[in-house]
């Protein structure tokens, strides 16, 4: 009984330390991860593909990711945002990935590409690399047209979630780097030429 009584405070202390450690990790992971930016507005992505409605999946994934991470606050008015995300959805690419012994497709791969930019209030634009804005997912083929359509849609949803996560992290990385960049030192004033001596009186 005495051993159990002594173990209880120790266990409580260990759990408390673990909770504090987890809490501090959460703060370091999300808190202040956008440099000096506190608000973000996400403009609707325009659809340049032949798949209607996919742009809504991209918009929804971006909003969900920024809300989930909690690094910045989402605002509706771009005029009151520290960062404005805007861009377009490019044509989707779907191709067969594997085949059966009788040349029937067993799996398909769908690739989603977006063109996104982040605009600051001073008019400067942040660009993302191509590795951030392109992702693919494999889905199962089906003899049932409706089942195959749903499989493709779910694959597109997963790709959009991956792209949103990449955009969030890439934007955070760029903003942190910009905030940590030292300000340029003021240049020394150029020496002025001495005033000419007055001419002697005649």
Question: Per-residue pLDDT tens for 7-45?
Answer: 444 443 444 444 334 333 332 344 456 888 999 999 999
Q: How far is CA 150 from CA 54, 95, 185, in A?
A: 13, 16, 58
The residues facing 87 across adjacent strands are 116
Q: How far is CA 30 from CA 14, 52, 70, 172, 173, in A?
A: 25, 34, 7, 10, 12
Q: Dump pLDDT digits (tens) for 36-87.
A: 899 999 999 999 999 999 999 999 999 999 999 988 999 999 999 999 999 9
Where does residue 176 rank: exposed (0-12), middle (13-18), buried (19+ CB within 10 A)? middle
Name the CATH topology of 31-178.
Double Stranded RNA Binding Domain (3.30.160)
Q: Quick check: 47 and 90 in contact, CB under 8 A?
A: no
Regarding pTM above 0.75, the answer is no
83-89 and 105-119: which strand pairing?
Answer: antiparallel
């Amino acid at each position: 009984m005495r051993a159990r009584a002594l173990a209880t405070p120790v266990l409580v202390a260990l759990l408390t330390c673990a909770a504090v450690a987890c809490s501090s990790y959460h703060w370091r992971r999300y808190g202040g991860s956008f440099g000096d930016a506190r608000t973000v507005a996400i403009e609707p992505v325009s659809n340049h593909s032949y798949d209607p409605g996919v742009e809504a999946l991209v918009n929804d994934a971006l909003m969900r990711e920024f809300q989930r991470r909690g690094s910045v606050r989402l605002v509706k008015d771009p005029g009151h945002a520290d960062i404005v995300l805007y861009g377009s959805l490019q044509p989707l690419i779907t191709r067969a990935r594997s085949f059966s012994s009788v040349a029937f497709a067993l799996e398909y791969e769908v690739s989603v590409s977006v063109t996104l930019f982040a605009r600051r209030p001073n008019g400067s634009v942040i660009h993302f690399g191509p590795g951030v804005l392109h992702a693919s997912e494999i889905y199962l083929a089906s003899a049932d047209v409706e089942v195959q359509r749903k499989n493709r849609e779910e694959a597109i949803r997963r790709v959009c979630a991956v792209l949103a996560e990449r955009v969030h992290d890439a934007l955070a990385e760029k903003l942190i780097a910009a905030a940590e960049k030292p300000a340029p030192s003021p240049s020394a004033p150029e020496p002025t030429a001495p005033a000419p001596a007055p001419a002697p009186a005649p």
